Structure 1
């Protein structure tokens, strides 16, 4: 079996996580991490101390000039996605990019068009539809367990933003950070895969006085193609507990996906009770699907087309006057 030569751009939390996945037992037999790149010499030195066999770079173009890369994983901040992805596509390298796909709708469209022209595998790291709780949710919706869908509520509540484990220089910036982009995109994409395309009707975003800081609140009305209403309520910086959830109201009952992976359901007039979710339903890791697609095997990936359509919703939420 031919080994897939993979390079990683960005050694933050996600970059290191993906490297860990690639070096685990199953994937390590078919994937070789040949080089990594990061703007921080400190990050590179730390990585090199435990991975001396892997070449390190501060310039991603130099990395690509030096190595024959089959797959490039991009885990840099969103405003750098475009430059790295477009360089890889120019060289006809398969690309696996973190979300959100880009830093604007225009960039996302250009990246999609370039990926289709290059004829390579282009994937975005949307993991939520692969989670066992979402696989089970989709099954319940398909079986009309709660009847016809009446309304969907999406709740994004963060006592502090960024969260304690999420400290970096860009995630609080208005340009490329905020909970709409960083967290909302997972749920927007998942809703579009389970229920269908979303249209933003109106959005009200509250920003702090600092022009550089990301949103503190958002309230938005959206709808599916069949007219089903979606209400988004998001807030950061308050006393209380984090809640990242979706509640689906049907004609015969309710389903709630609470805090990412806790699935609840109940009939009208009855309390919600936990839904048993078999972990065997898990379709993770996403990297395995990307590798399978490159090798021409059955797989389930979300590509730049998915990223582009999620970006359309995100930018309509963040910049309602422009859409």
Structure 2
């Protein structure tokens, strides 16, 4: 039985906690959140902590699932890895390359698994599309366009998604889904070109072209500046 600790009891932490409840080989032994009542709401029998350091020392989980705002990822991933726990971290991985390198290095030093939760790799439609490409049953791909649009996410804890310094804005938090999928399908491109619309210090709408030379023409669009009545939309 895999002993799991969920760190962060917000929207994503709640979702992850509910999924673990359906897995036969995993048990959530602890939930950590700075607001104790939030942690208690989703604990469902697990121990409740307000400090991850205390939890790591007392529970010694096999896996730590980081469901915190992006600007807190690096610090907590490094601590969990150094404690000898495998780590699953919500996307996006980090705020910048320096943080990402620190996280990878910590996991490598500790000899633990470290995974970023890029969920669409596992969604049925995206899985099926990759299988079709890999199998070649429809021939070679000539072009691919991906789109991901939503209203402004004003629902986040302390409005952290609206702070580019905490979330990376739509360019990092939302657009990362399709960029990761493109890399998953085709590997590293020869070049990348992006153009975005900025509000304050955050890029709220972005277009990206991925240059694969003689390979397929690939583009992606992402934005969270749609009106409140606009439903969340994604396609490829």
- Alignment TM class, shorter chain as reference: 0.7 to 0.9
State TM-score, norm by structure 1. Answer: 0.65
Matches within 5 A, 1:141-160: 141-158=133-150, 160=151
Superposition CA RMSD, Å: 2.3
Change (3 A) 1:59 1:179: same
State TM-score, norm by structure 2. Answer: 0.87
Match of 2:234 among 227, 244, 250: 244
More RCO (CA 8 Å, sep 6+): 1
CA distance in 2, matches of 1:243, 1:47: 29
1:223 — aligned with what? Answer: 211
Match of 1:112 among 81, 104, 111: 104
2:75 — aligned with what? Answer: 83
Q: Secondary structure at the match of 1:218?
A: strand
Match of 1:234 among 222, 229, 234: 222
Instruction: Tell me how far 1:57 sits from its aligned partner.
Output: 1.2
Match of 1:133 among 121, 125, 142: 125
CA distance in 2, matches of 1:125, 1:235: 20
1:201 — aligned with what? Answer: 192
Q: Highest Rg: 1 or 2?
A: 1
1:191 — aligned with what? Answer: 182
The runs of 5 or more residues in structure 2 that have no matched partner are none
Q: Secondary structure at the match of 2:172?
A: helix
1:173 — aligned with what? Answer: 163
Instruction: Tell me how far 1:125 sits from its aligned partner.
Output: 1.1
CA distance in 2, matches of 1:120, 1:235: 35
Q: Secondary structure at the match of 1:198?
A: coil
CA distance in 2, matches of 1:199, 1:68: 43
Q: Secondary structure at the match of 2:94?
A: coil
1:280 — aligned with what? Answer: none
Instruction: Spell out, residue by residue over 1:137-181, the C-alpha distance to the aligned partner (whole angstroms, 9 max, x if none).
Output: 1222234344322222222333x2117xx5432112212143332
1:17 matched to 2:15: yes
Change (3 A) 1:77 1:191: same
The runs of 5 or more residues in structure 1 that have no matched partner are 247-323
Q: Secondary structure at the match of 2:164?
A: coil
CA distance in 1, matches of 2:221, 2:62: 42
